[in-house]
Amino acid sequence: MSVAGTPKKILVADDAPLYLRTTGALLRKAGYECVCVPDATSAIAQLHETSFDLVLSDLNMPGNMKLELLKDQSEHRPMVPIVVVTGVPTLPSAIESIRLGITDYLLKPVKFEDLLACVRRVLERGKPETETTVFPIRDRRDLKTLFPQIIGDSAPMLELFEIIDSVARTDTSVLITGESGTGKEVVASTIHRHSHRDRGKFQVIDCTAIPEALFESTLFGHKKGSFTGAVGDADGLLKQCDGGTAFFDELGELPVAMQAKLLRAVQEQTFTPVGSHTPVCVDTRFVCATNRDLEREVVAGRFRQDLFYRLGVIHIALPPLRERGDDILLLADAFLENLRPSGSSIRGFSPCACDTLMRYSWPGNIRELRNAIERAVTLVRGDTITAADLPEKVRSSLPSPVTESPTVSKVATTSLAAASPVVALSNASREQAMEAAEYQYLVVLMQQHAGNVSEASRQAGLSRQGMHKLLKRHDIHASEFRS
């Protein structure tokens, strides 16, 4: 109810007759005035004629195939909150809905008590000013400059930057999945840093580090004397990040007994400390990460379906390092820059070391790559990191089956037998022989394409950036081959 006692007015738009009828009836029973329409065209007409306090809208319904209702709402009534309730979620539609300024995004089937909790929360808080503007669509390559903590220039990473840009400025729950070591916490902290909650705390809650018996008190806090050892009142981790972001790392390890209690905290933004009877209210965004397949965990009965849907409104799947192409070398350079001791003479990686880094499949992903570079920085004796400075399992790896496209270094390896007799038959090390063969290959490549780096890189299966790096390492100047 409003302060004056007038019922809040809600518009419900959905093309499912049963859902429309039952939701309208239940909202009226809860004390709200409710208008129900079966399509977006009718909803837009109602919004132009009548003032509403909240809109509940489906996505896939007549008249809304291009999100016409959301676009009209953003243009004409940006201060009226809109909650999307859909049974056919897709990442593109979720991102576009968020860009258009929706307040929340719920997945069907949704329990009425959960929907009602969302309605009450939205009506109490109103629509944050940060959500009243339609977010501009920016070029993907411009976006990477906004997120310097995340290094990458591959297609999967450029897509990731676009997703982060869309979701960061909202309060929508985000689930980040991916293999161990792919940078899930870095992505989560980046989302927080670029949100309107950036002045609040980014609270990491590691579900593997908290004993099950202490999970509830650690998360929600406790009152003095509520259990043995509770010598005073204590705020839980959720209270400590009020106004900020709660990042649940390794969510798949969350004890089953805690899942229902966490669901209530996520939906209603309230919880009760151990030993207390007074609920605590918070304003917290939830971002979670896991390397488990939570859908399988749901089927196996180890994870609550309703909690999965509530926390996975936006699902970000991080690519493994082996699928990121030249990002491997970009990351290696960045790690070298950070790990190189002050005053060190280390200039970079030899061509053979680069080839070795690119051939390895990196099962431990970014974390393993960093460890390999740290080892190399420690062991290197000259001013260049060679393949011999890398871990043995990296040096002895076979080409990854995931990345079959040839690179200059692979072509150079196969061209070794065709190199000059001096190189092929001398007592030079394998490293020196490969570097010489690679140099000869690059020279021939530049001659064939008259110094055109774009054409040469296309033939070699490299990006222009990768080709420029190789040419620079061998001190080859493309301009010298132009007529």
Domains and CATH numbers, the chain: 9-131 (3.40.50.2300), 140-319 (3.40.50.300), 321-404 (1.10.8.60), 405-483 (no CATH)
Question: How crowded is the C-beta side of 39, counted as CA atoms within 13 Å?
Answer: 6
| Confidence (pLDDT) at 437 | 74
Coil, helix or strand for 381?
coil
3-52 pLDDT, tens digit per residue, is 456 889 999 999 999 999 999 999 999 999 999 999 999 999 999 999 99
Question: How crowded is the C-beta side of 72, counted as CA atoms within 13 Å?
Answer: 17
Cross-strand partners of 202 = 245
Q: What's the burial of 408, exposed, middle or buried (CB within 10 Å: 0-12/13-18/19+)? A: buried
What percentage of the chain reaches a pLDDT higher than 90?
50
For the cut 80, the answer to whether the pLDDT of residue 203 exceeds it is yes
| Confidence (pLDDT) at 483 | 61
| Confidence (pLDDT) at 142 | 63
Q: Is the model more confident about 433 or about 161?
A: 161
Average of pLDDT values for 251-269?
92
pLDDT band at 321 (very low <50, low <70, confident <90, very high): very high
pLDDT band at 349 (very low <50, low <70, confident <90, very high): very high
| Confidence (pLDDT) at 482 | 75
38-76 pLDDT, tens digit per residue, is 999 999 999 999 999 999 999 889 998 888 998 888 888
pLDDT band at 101 (very low <50, low <70, confident <90, very high): confident
**Tokens read off for 288:** 């979670």
> Residue written as tokens 């979720």?
94
354-367 pLDDT, tens digit per residue, is 989 999 999 999 99
Whole-model pTM: value is: 0.66
Question: How crowded is the C-beta side of 273, counted as CA atoms within 13 Å?
Answer: 24
pLDDT band at 263 (very low <50, low <70, confident <90, very high): very high
Instruction: Residue 378: count other Cβ atoms within 10 Å of its Cβ.
Output: 10
